[in-house]
Amino acid sequence: MSLIQDVVTFDADGALYAVPVGRVQEILDLRPTAAMPNAPAHLLGIIDLRGANIPVVDLRRLLGRPDAEDTHQSRILVVAIRHDGQEAVIGVKTDRVIEVTLLDNGEMKPLDEADMLRWAGSPLMGIGRCKGQVVSVLDLDRLFARVDLAVTEEAA
């Protein structure tokens, strides 16, 4: 078991996910994005955040889940990632942000290949529980390592 500090929990397609709170810069209400020509399907566009161009990606699409209508609960998590040795700031659209909390007992079970049936490239840091529910803790760097960030790096 690994100890993990506070996490931000959120929902995508009915599944509970979390990221360490230290990676989240802010949580925004959903807002329109400026579309990017020839952008990959997961890249929704760019938002202006106090003069900075922030690319916004759809978490559902990144995780291979079906699209859904946006609701009044849809949010954008503005997160810091490392990609190819560089820092980047990205917006991640989620169905809803639930809360900032601790995992039950402050513990997360790291995943190894045996746990994931040799699922190479898993974007998960580990599995924990939050109020008795299973929560998948995302490894943002690993998640975005699988993604073409050429547009993201130019925009940031």
Domains of the chain: 2-155 (2.40.50.180)
Tokens in use for 21?
Answer: 């709170």
Q: What is the pLDDT of residue 131?
A: 84
Q: What is the pLDDT of residue 152?
A: 44
Ramachandran angles phi, psi of 22, nearest 5°: -65, -15
Tokens in use for 100?
Answer: 């900032």
Residue with tokens 């209400």: 29
Q: What is the pLDDT of residue 33?
A: 95
Q: How far apart are CA 85 and CA 2, in angstroms?
A: 25
Q: What is the pLDDT of residue 119?
A: 53
Residue with tokens 């400026």: 34
- Judged by DSSP in three states, 110 sits in strand
Q: What is the pLDDT of residue 31?
A: 95
Per-residue pLDDT of the chain (156 residues; tens, 9 = 90+): 566 668 999 999 999 999 999 999 999 999 999 998 988 889 999 999 999 999 999 999 988 888 889 999 999 999 999 877 889 999 999 999 999 988 867 677 766 654 554 455 567 888 888 888 889 889 888 888 866 655 444 444
Q: How far apart are CA 64 and CA 147, in angstroms?
A: 12
- Judged by DSSP in three states, 102 sits in coil
Q: What is the pLDDT of residue 151?
A: 45
Q: How far apart are CA 51 and CA 33, in angstroms?
A: 14
Q: What pTM did the predictor assign?
A: 0.82
Q: What is the pLDDT of residue 103?
A: 80
Within 8 A by CB and 6+ apart from 22, the residues are 5, 6
Pairing type for strands 124-130 and 107-110 reads antiparallel
- DSSP strands (E only) in the chain: 2-3, 7-12, 15-20, 24-29, 43-49, 52-58, 75-83, 86-94, 96-101, 107-110, 124-130, 133-138
